[in-house]
Amino acid sequence: MEKINLDFFANQTIQIDLSNFLINLLTSIVLSYLIQLAYNKTAKTLSNVKNFSKNFVILCLTTTIIITIVKSSLALSLGLVGALSIVRFRAAIKEPEELVFLFLIISIGLGCGAGQIGITVVGTFIALIIILMHSRFESLEKKIELENFNISIISKKKLKPNNLKDVIDIITNDSDNCELISFSQTSDGSTINLLSSFSKINNIEKINNNLKKKFPTLDFVLVRESINSV
């Protein structure tokens, strides 16, 4: 009886349903591509993110094919173990984040290859939600508060009193605090110095654009005194 069972496991033939195989294959492609998009959006590694993630779909596809072929055959499973013991993979994994995403891609391939589509899809979407939420919370924690900027507005011609007020209003509207430090005017031009603070770095660009739009001849000079990380 033991000899019959051994012959059965060693010589059994694999019957793979082509339609189910295509569904598993398509599912692995879609899920791995979603992971690739999430990695490209959230990765903080120093290596080339897009160059690394472009292999995700192929890796997941390969894993799915291998598991589909060997899952019903003890002989092929043992052959796979022998083949992997010979092949040496020497990819340089520099960051733990890269290793985590590789394991996630391989697990998707394993699940799809084993035909566990429901569990694999649910698990992948839960992983995506966690990845995106973690990235979101991390970006909020690293919000930068900008303070104490010396702003110099240099005009190549004398400014009228109403123009001076317009310049200060533009800066005041998009800054948290604004204090006039000095104002000098000669026959060659005018210089305004202010001390301002900002909570959003985009406001600095907004001020520059608004000044250039209303006063094309003005030069906008900004010197940062300090940055405090929150």
What percent of the chain shows pLDDT beyond 70?
71
What percent of the chain shows pLDDT beyond 90?
19
Residue 7 pLDDT class (50, 70, 90 cuts): low
Identity of residue 198: F
175 alpha-carbon distance from chain centroid: 29
What strands, in cross-sheet order, belong to the sheet with 144-155? 177-186, 189-198, 144-155, 219-229
| Residue 230 pLDDT | 37
- The answer to whether the CB of 120 falls within 8 A of the CB of 47 is no
| Residue 227 pLDDT | 42
The CATH label, of 3.40.50.300, 3.40.47.10, 2.40.50.100, 3.30.70.260, for the domain at 144-229 is 3.30.70.260
- What one-character-per-residue DSSP string does 4-60 give? HHHHHHHHPPP---HHHHHHHHHHHHHHHHHHHHHHHHH---SS-HHHHHTTHHHHH
Mean pLDDT of the chain, nearest integer? 76
- Whether this model's pTM surpasses 0.95: no
- The answer to whether the CB of 137 falls within 8 A of the CB of 195 is no
| Residue 208, SS3 per DSSP | helix
Could you state, in order of their start, the residue ranges of all structural domains in the chain?
Answer: 2-141, 144-229
| Residue 140 pLDDT | 56
- The answer to whether the CB of 65 falls within 8 A of the CB of 106 is no
Nearest C-alpha neighbor of 112 from the set 202, 218, 21, 229: 21
| Residue 174, SS3 per DSSP | coil
Identity of residue 105: I
49 pLDDT higher than 90: no
Residue 14 pLDDT class (50, 70, 90 cuts): low
| Averaged pLDDT, 123-150 | 75
